[in-house]
Structure 1
């Protein structure tokens, strides 16, 4: 029977001593570091090792970079959408505020009254969306999604970012109907911004044309003049752009000239309009004027009575009696 002999010595002890190997590796490391420090012999090796490890780094970092790109893309899209909506709203409001500046740019001293009236226009506006357009080609009317619940009232002026659109003609609880300035049944008092000549712009049944039938042949109006609202109707505030004059024909045999204008508002492309609230000063002054008028008759009635007594006193033969008739208790008996 064959028996296997086993060696009881440790396997580590069979090779070279660990201390000698560690000492040898230390000498090699020190030598390599000295050569690299003084001569830079390992720079090329380092470059090649870095180039070889670059694909490994790229593979390891790809999932994280892909996730960051996806999350950042969606976040940027949402942020840009919100910023775009906010900037659009700010641009719309800024354009409305700049409408008066264009109309007041070329005004002179004679238009100071109109300028002061337009400066008092309230800044409250509300954006309304057009829900439906009247399909009748002879009726230029639209319906918006704001009504009496939102404070909309009849004859309220309506604008867009470029000029006057029209006014409210019918109000429901949650919606309202607008008549455009191009409707054949609509008219708006205007004036030429260049010289202040007043007239009336009437709708011609065409979205791109207004008619000024009451402009005389001698009127100083020419092609390119800016027409602004005069504010004399008590509906539209003064100084808002309405249209540009596009055609002027004069016949000496006629009394009135043929004047046509193009509305500045985008009547055929607007999807949103602006409802304007104004605070006319006449509504505040009216009660005061009525109180003054009411007080004047009282003063007028009280003053003639003493005057009448003083006038009748000299006519009487007995002077002591008229002073006794002047007190208030005896006035009803005199009347």
Structure 2
């Protein structure tokens, strides 16, 4: 009885040699077919089949390159814009400093001219620190106080010499000035008309321009007439410019004209003022 026969499996060397021979044979066959032109249709078909894929890949690579370039350019533009914005901000700040210095110089020149035109008066320059321009209170704070020799009731003038108001509250290093437009303000005035001077009173009003009151109808005041302090009452020296008469109306039934006063001092834009220190207000008692 013959037992089963066993055939040995080919070893790795044999398999490798067989694969090498197959590859060599395939290469030789490919060269032979290529020389005969037998592979041209297959090569053309392969090129046609792969052409859309190659074109898509090329376009995708171009789009990706453009996208990367776009991001890089956008970052570059953002950096340039930020640099330009910072430079613009610096130039604006420099321009503001120069304009402020120029305005300050002009203010000081006007104050010097005013002081020169009033050599008999003691004047202390002050800068405006704050403003309260509500309907019930019209006042500004200045950077001078009792330590600078100021007292309550002192007269405050604009850099052009027009009446601003009086010192109402005093502190060591600053003071609050009640403006002529404040509802609690009342100034005895003289209106310089074409027929002579006419006396009256300028009073502040809530939310409205100051009112010119108690001027007789026969005084003949007109729009544009100058309004100055009369000196009556002892609180203001005579001759300080208050403003000009506006909206003058006369009614036959009213013995006094109705008018408004446009202040000459730029009360809403005050930066620098002068305190008149040589005039002492007088509080007159009842007759």
| TM-score computed with the length of structure 2 as normaliser | 0.57
Q: Tell me if the contact between 1:231 and 1:239 (Cα under 8 Å) persists in the aligned partners.
A: yes
Could you tell me which of 123, 139, 142 is aligned with 2:140?
142
Aligned to 1:201: 202
* 1:177 corresponds to: 176
SS at match of 1:134: strand
In structure 1, the residue matched to 2:247 is 247
> What is aligned with 2:275?
275
SS at match of 2:112: helix
Distance 1:277 1:130, change over 3 A: same
**Offset, 1:219:** 2.2
Mapped to 2, the partners of 1:135 and 1:279 lie a distance apart of: 27
Matched, 1:90 2:143: no
Q: Matches of 1:252 and 1:83 in 2, distance apart?
A: 52
Q: Tell me, in whole angstroms, the C-alpha distance in 1 between the residues paired with 2:223 and 2:116.
A: 26
Mapped to 1, the partners of 2:104 and 2:133 lie a distance apart of 31
What is the Cα deviation at residue 142 of structure 1?
1.6
Structure 1 pair 123–245 and aligned structure 2 pair: CA distance change class (3 A): same
Q: Which moved more, 1:177-186 or 1:193-202?
A: 193-202
8 Å CA contact retained: 2:237, 2:279: no
Following superposition of structure 1 onto structure 2, how do residues 1-335 of structure 1 map, counting pairs within 5 Å?
88-95=107-114, 122-134=120-132, 136-162=134-160, 163-194=162-193, 195-206=196-207, 209-279=209-279
CA distance in 2, matches of 1:137, 1:97: 36
Structure 2: runs of 5+ lacking an equivalent: 1-99, 283-287
When the two structures are aligned, how many residues end up with a matched partner? 182
> Could you list the per-position Cα deviations for residues 84-117 of structure 1 after superposition, in whole angstroms to 9, with x for gaps in the alignment?
865642322214655xxxxxxxxxxxxxxxxxxx
Distance 1:258 1:96, change over 3 A: farther
Which residue in 2 is equivalent to 1:325?
A: none
Superposition TM-score, scaled by structure 1 size: 0.49
The residue matched to 2:173 in structure 1 has which SS? Answer: coil
- 2:169–2:176 contact (8 Å) kept in structure 1: yes
Structure 1's unaligned 5+ residue stretches are 1-80, 99-118, 283-335
Q: What is the alpha-carbon distance in structure 2 between the residues aligned to residue 83 and residue 161 of structure 1?
A: 15
Please report how far the alpha carbon of residue 279 of structure 1 lies from its aligned counterpart in structure 2 after TM superposition.
Answer: 4.6
Task: Check whether the contact 1:183–1:206 (CA below 8 A) recurs between aligned residues.
Answer: no
Note if contact 1:148-1:173 (Cα within 8 Å) is conserved in structure 2. Answer: yes
Structure with the larger strand share:
2
Larger Rg: 2
CA RMSD of aligned residues (A): 2.9
Is 2:248–2:258's contact at 8 Å kept on the other side of the alignment? yes
Question: CA deviation digits over 1:195-232, x for unaligned, max 9?
Answer: 1211111112347x221121222222111100111112
